[in-house]
C-alpha cells in the first residue's frame, strides 16, 4: 500500500525549532517530487515547499523562506521539513504529499499523509 506518514509535530515556543519527517512506503520514493502543505486551524490549504527527486530544485512559499528548509533522503525513503524561528502563525497541520507529473508546473498531489500538528505558543 502506498503510504505517507508524518511525524515530529508538537508544541514549541515562539522562535523555537522543529523537524518534521514524512516516511514513504509502498512505492519508489526517489522517483517522485514531494511537497509540504499546511492548514491552520479552521483555515484553507497553504503550500509550504516543494522538492524535486534529486533535490536539484527546491521552492518555498514567501511566508517560510529563510526559516524553513525542505530536504529528502532517498535512501531512507524520507522527506523532512526543518522549521526554525517559528511563529504563532506557523501553527497548523502539516501534510506531506507526493507529486505526480512531468514537472511541478503540471503535477498534482495524488497521495497525502494524515498530517502532523504543529502548535507554536508560549
Partner 1 sequence: QSVLTQPPSASGTPGQRVTISCSGSSSNIGSNTVNWYQQLPGTAPKLLIYGNNQRPSGVPDRFSGSKSGTSASLAISGLQSEDEADYYCAAWDDSPNGRVFGGGTKLTVL
Write out the binding residues for partner 1, residues 39-98 only, by CB under 8 A. 44-47, 50, 59-62, 95
Q: Which residues contact 58 (CB under 8 A, 6 or more apart)?
A: 49, 50, 51, 52, 70
112 is an interface residue for partner 1 by CB under 8 A? yes
In whole angstroms, how close is the CB of 47 to partner 1 at the nearest point?
4
Which long-range CB contacts under 8 A does 11-16 form with residues at least 24 apart? 11/119, 11/121, 12/86, 12/118, 12/119, 12/120, 13/86, 13/120, 13/121, 13/122, 14/86, 14/87, 14/88, 14/120, 14/121, 14/122, 15/85, 15/86, 16/86, 16/120
Per rule CB under 8 A, is residue 27 in the interface with partner 1? Answer: no
Phi then psi for residue 65, to 5 deg, are: -60, 130
* 9 scored as a contact of partner 1 (CB under 8 A): no
Asked if 115 interacts with partner 1 (CB under 8 A), we say yes
Q: Cβ of residue 73: shortest distance to partner 1, in angstroms?
A: 22
Closest CB 93 distance from partner 1, rounded Å: 9
Residue 113 lies near partner 1 (rule: CB under 8 A): yes
Number of residues engaging partner 1 in binding (CB under 8 A)? 25
Applying CB under 8 A, which residues contact partner 1?
A: 35, 37, 44-47, 50, 59-62, 95, 100-101, 104-110, 112-115
Amino acid at each position: 500500500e502506498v503510504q505517507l506518514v508524518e511525524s515530529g509535530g508538537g508544541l514549541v515556543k515562539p522562535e523555537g525549532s522543529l523537524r518534521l519527517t514524512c516516511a514513504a512506503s509502498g512505492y519508489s520514493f526517489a522517483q517522485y517530487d514531494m511537497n509540504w502543505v499546511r492548514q491552520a486551524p479552521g483555515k484553507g490549504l497553504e503550500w509550504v515547499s516543494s522538492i524535486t527527486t534529486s533535490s536539484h530544485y527546491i521552492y518555498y512559499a514567501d511566508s517560510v523562506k529563510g526559516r524553513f528548509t525542505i530536504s529528502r533522503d532517498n535512501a531512507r525513503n524520507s522527506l523532512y521539513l526543518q522549521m526554525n524561528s517559528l511563529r504563532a502563525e506557523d501553527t497548523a497541520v502539516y501534510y506531506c504529499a507526493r507529486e505526480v507529473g512531468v514537472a511541478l508546473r503540471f503535477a498534482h498531489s495524488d497521495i497525502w499523509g494524515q498530517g502532523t500538528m504543529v502548535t507554536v505558543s508560549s
